[in-house]
Structure 1
């Protein structure tokens, strides 16, 4: 065991996983600090017989406050470093030696356990939300970041000397992002170590809400950028300079990343008007509905599964398809969506089973298992749907149908929109914002590819 660092574990309703995490952490340090952030389950009880320092919050204060209080407790022990990891099982203390090995090379930097290299093991929305956060934070910090949202870190204790940073409940998931910017301003960078992406089956649902929390992180970053005159040097160092290297330009994500930068530039130059236009288009299209009964093909876009079963939003899409089937028993269904996160079945297969159980003839149901996002969905559809210029009934959620329909038309399909209409969501506005950003990104890439006659890029994003 080492006394050179303390291990801090913030915990909120982690009774199912915390004990194993804490016991394993004790193998690596005799200073393990658990901060129970007002949990409503048995979080405290499962570690009370372990030799850990247990801090109790009477009410939930958020992850930022929990980390901060854990750090203040660790400072009393005069250690040189603080190791932080989550209590939900996504971080394994057995990976601490990997981070310590990196620390030997970079003793003055923050060491981060980066999960994004294992894309197949991460829920798609979580993956892309993290990638968006990486871009903004890297810009503000002034250097590339691999996984800005990982809470598995080693911090040098000196970073927290006279550090001023918000720890309010609203800052729960902003804290770990802002601290990277604050550290960079003090000359402390971060170094990444690849670790497995672990999503434990019996863990509680993540407290991280992609759209909401990424929006809060983006607003925080925007404040830092405005204070520094948009920090163009940071954008160049973090996003442009690394991608001017020849070895990067051959990678598949090169075009998407470059178009993301161009899309952002368009938004800035138009003072957000271009993004507002796309947002209004999405809101208008969400109200459109053309569900003809006499077409041959209905395409159902998949949705992330829950415990290998369709979630409520996906079921709304499938039930919309069933309504069409009851009017046309010859209608063929193409379900799109591969295996995401740690599921054992593809989104399309789970949807197909649901339809067949509801009486749809199996020979009318077609699936694919390779795609993970809307662009890949449509690429697979282009390869699998017989003939060209086909008419399709496109079934997806209202907030998503504008982007999906627009992209499908670029792939040569004649599209009839048939929206699933679930009950309203408190996060619906942010979903529309997210769709606007993604569609703006796609349109920017499409227009640029056409203007430059880049056939390779066009073949990936249109027919």
Structure 2
């Protein structure tokens, strides 16, 4: 790579990983720009002896402002392309030649390093959040997208000549999404290159917050769609037309996108009354507190682990199960959840270890270790339960219990809900909103598949 490229690395508390990233980047360009976004650690110090340009933010301003300031600095060097990559180790500069090869074929495009092909290496919630964002952004931009949330990109410099875009802190993770829409309006599309999904063990936790940031991205996309009269042409080119092409038929599953679209249409037609009704149901279910100890077995839904250990919410689910066990030790307990994220143990395995340490008899605990989300949890549960034991007590977090119980009923269970307390009021609030959207989506898909006798889709989401 020559000096016609500038490499921009936004960094916020990246002292553990930044130096290696910057050193590798220097092998591909002599213009490497690090934007230290008000870090609390030694982010600038670890690269101060390297021949990189360091931009300092006195206070944290967010990723959007960091990228924008890095781009403005790059423009001073009269380069033709800007490479952006994260400083937390998720992106390897050694993959830059992969993007460059694609750029040679599509020199007027944005080249994106797409990680979603490597599903097993990506935390499940982030994977599905990205898929949701892909659908909405593809609609607004008017062409299919593989990984709209990857920050590993090559931009043509001309894109920024007269670009106007928000760089507020609120726009931190909206910026990279909105720029794809604005670029499409200028005739610049993105092309994807498959790269490995890397989650370095020494990296700090991601600043991306699925519920909050996907909500902000969706609201931004909705604004663009409303401004263009819902842009049905974009929906056709991004979703319907590709589905008609032979090369897409085998590798692309559009069922979830279609359900998302139908759910969105229903919300608009009902003036959000259907969504509000769903939200009220989610809240109502979360407040039930009659965990029955006479029924069984007890099913506990897993949750992503933090450093191979249950997080606070998962512990609350396990403690709820513990209280039922103390009341009725004869009950059987089924823990659901396989390997997710970068954990070295399954969710159910970590849950069992916690309960055994609390006094559970190991022979009263059964684990399911392959599923990665709620739907997979419940779809596989009938095979895990012996005989016809389909009268269950279901334990999950307050905000999650409504959707989980409805799904469980669709797989043939008689469900007694047992919500585990969610300690964080903020988390509970975001959880209510997120679950209302997801439950609305699920119910829309269920009704659609039954009305149209779509047995393929129906078999995936119910029994």
Instruction: Give the TM bin, normalised by the shorter chain.
Output: over 0.9
Question: The residue matched to 1:180 in structure 2 has which SS?
Answer: helix
Matches within 5 A, 1:98-177: 98-177=98-177
Q: Quote the residue 1:331 is aligned against.
A: 331
Counterparts of 1:136 and 1:162 in 2: how far apart (Å)?
A: 25
Equivalent position of 1:277 in the other structure:
277
Deviates more, 1:7-16 or 1:283-292: 283-292
Is the contact between residue 135 and residue 257 of structure 2 (CA under 8 Å) also seen in structure 1?
no
Question: Distance in 2 between the 1:398 and 1:251 partners?
Answer: 36
Q: Give structure 2 stretches of 5+ with no counterpart.
A: none
Q: Which deviates more from structure 2 when the two are superposed, residues 205-214 or residues 430-439?
A: 430-439
1:452 paired residue number: 452
Per-residue displacement from partner, 1:386-442 (whole Å, max 9, x unpaired)? 223611110000000000011111111111111111313324322211111111111
- Give me the whole-angstrom Cα distance separating, in 2, the residues matched to 1:450 and 1:69: 52
Tell me the TM-score normalized by structure 1: 0.97
Is 1:290 the counterpart of 2:293? The answer is: no
Cα distance per residue 1:132-159 (max 9 Å; x no partner): 1111111111111111111000000000
Secondary structure (helix, strand or coil) at the match of 2:155 reads: strand
Runs of 4+ in 1 over 4 A off after TM superposition: 246-252
Q: Which residue of 2 aligns with 1:89?
A: 89
Give the Cα separation in 2 of the matches to 1:70 and 1:455: 51
TM-score normalised by length of structure 2:
0.97
Q: How far apart, CA to CA, are the structure 2 residues paired with 1:33 and 1:191? A: 24
Partner of 2:432: 432
State whether residues 248 and 254 of structure 1, in contact with CA within 8 Å, keep that contact through their aligned partners in structure 2.
no
Q: How far is the alpha carbon of 1:247 from its aligned partner?
A: 5.8
1:254 Cα shift? Answer: 3.6
Q: Distance in 1 between matches of 2:396 and 2:253?
A: 26
1:259 match: 259
Is the 1:310–1:350 contact (alpha carbons within 8 Å) kept by the matching residues of 2? yes
- Please tell me the root mean square deviation across aligned C-alpha atoms, in Å: 1.4
2:138 aligned counterpart, secondary structure = helix
**Distance in 2 (alpha carbons) for counterparts of 1:6 and 1:250:** 38
Q: How much does 1:221 deviate?
A: 1.1
Q: Deviations over 1:360-405 (max 9, x none)?
A: 1111111111111111000110111122361111000000000001
Query: After alignment, is 94-103 or 210-219 more displaced?
Result: 210-219
SS in 2 for 1:35: strand
CA contact (8 A) 2:132 2:257 kept: no
Distance 1:90-1:359 versus aligned 2 partners, 3 A rule: same
Contact between 1:286 and 1:398, CA under 8 Å: does it hold in 2? yes
CA distance in 1 between counterparts of 2:252 and 2:336 reads: 22
Secondary structure of the 1:120 match is helix
Instruction: Give the structure 1 partner of residue 10 of structure 2.
Output: 10
Post-superposition offset of 1:223 = 1.3
Indicate whether 1:384 and 2:384 are aligned.
Answer: yes
Partner residue, 1:364: 364
Q: CA deviation at 1:250?
A: 5.5
Q: Distance in 2 between matches of 1:47 and 1:106?
A: 33
CA drift at 1:246? 5.4
> Does residue 34 of the first structure (1) align with residue 44 of the second (2)?
no
Cα deviation, residue 25, structure 1: 0.4
